[in-house]
Amino acid sequence: MATFRVAGASTEYLAITGWGVDDVKLAKKAWVWLGQRCKTLDVAPASYEMEAQGVTSENFPVVLRVVYTVGPKIDDKNQLGDQEPPLLLYAKLVALPSKKKEDCSSRVKELVQGALERHAGAVAAGMAADEILGEACRFAEDVLERVQLDLGKFGIHVYSANVKRLRVDMPASEQKMTHLEEELSVAQLEEWIAKLRLRVTRLEEERLRVTGPEERLCNDRLMVITSYLLEVLALRLSRHGRGAAAAPAAAH
């Protein structure tokens, strides 16, 4: 016996496993036979807010809070060179039976959270508190790039990564904090923007010199850093807006 299944929305795929199928078979419509399982995958990007902690080289706690928008990359079948297409890698991650009873979103979120915690901890451990606070841009960029490279192995692409908070908890006598929404000075914002723009320029130049998998990895890095730059530019714009609104009030 068999049933005919059709994926609904444009972002949906049928993931078929079981009898006669090696790992996972993806289709927009298919016959599902006895002994097979069919799961509908929605590959639309989803956003997750999460927090990771680590310690600096002096053992001061570091907290990084990020909002990630992630999903499978379905427009580049050769993203990983000779390896399997990203969408198939993603399907294997979320469609194959698991001992844990969890949905697709939970599996993806758990993977992203694990990558963020692992890399935030590793990068923080190699830097002093003053380095992280003075080079917040470099710290966050390094973590975000490493996370993207990790997730790419599972067919997951980071469409945007917005850093909401980067904090280092130091003794009261020397406590400092970097909070993207409130604590950064105008000078720090301008310096951050300049560094991100330089990084984008260098990645664009590098992309012209490489081909194949290296070019695709460069494109992934460029997308993450560009998204990050847009976030900081939006923060600067909101700061200017608040400043302009405060000026007339002060005049009264």
pLDDT in tens, 124-160: 999 888 788 777 777 888 888 888 888 888 888 888 8
Identify which of 33, 37, 35, 30 has the alpha carbon closest to the alpha carbon of residue 2.
33
- Which residues does residue 6 pair with via DSSP β-bridges, in sequence order? 29
Which pLDDT band, with edges at 50, 70 and 90, does 114 fall under?
A: very high
Do residues 49 and 67 lie in contact, with contact meaning Cβ atoms separated by under 8 Å? yes
Q: Which 3 state secondary structure label does DSSP give 11?
A: coil
How buried is residue 43: exposed, middle or buried, by Cβ count under 10 Å (0-12/13-18/19+)?
buried
**Among 22-36, 92-106, 183-197, 236-250, the least confident range:** 236-250
230 pLDDT higher than 50: yes
Pair 36, 84 in one domain = no
114-117: which pairs have CB atoms within 8 A and are 24 or more residues apart?
Answer: 115/146, 115/147, 115/150, 115/151, 116/50, 116/52, 116/64, 116/66, 116/68, 116/143, 116/147, 117/52, 117/53, 117/54
Kindly report the CATH number assigned to the domain that includes residue 141.
3.30.479.30
Per the model's pLDDT, the better-predicted residue between 171 and 117 turns out to be: 117
- The total number of structural domains in the chain stands at 2
Q: In which domain, by residue range, is 25 found?
A: 2-42
How buried is residue 20: exposed, middle or buried, by Cβ count under 10 Å (0-12/13-18/19+)?
exposed
Pair 147, 23 in one domain = no
252 pLDDT higher than 50: no
pLDDT in tens, 91-102: 888 776 655 555
Pair 31, 99 in one domain = no
Pair 38, 58 in one domain = no
- Hey, how many other C-beta atoms are within 10 angstroms of the C-beta on 229? 19
Pair 157, 234 in one domain = yes
pLDDT in the model for residue 82: 44
Pair 102, 22 in one domain = no
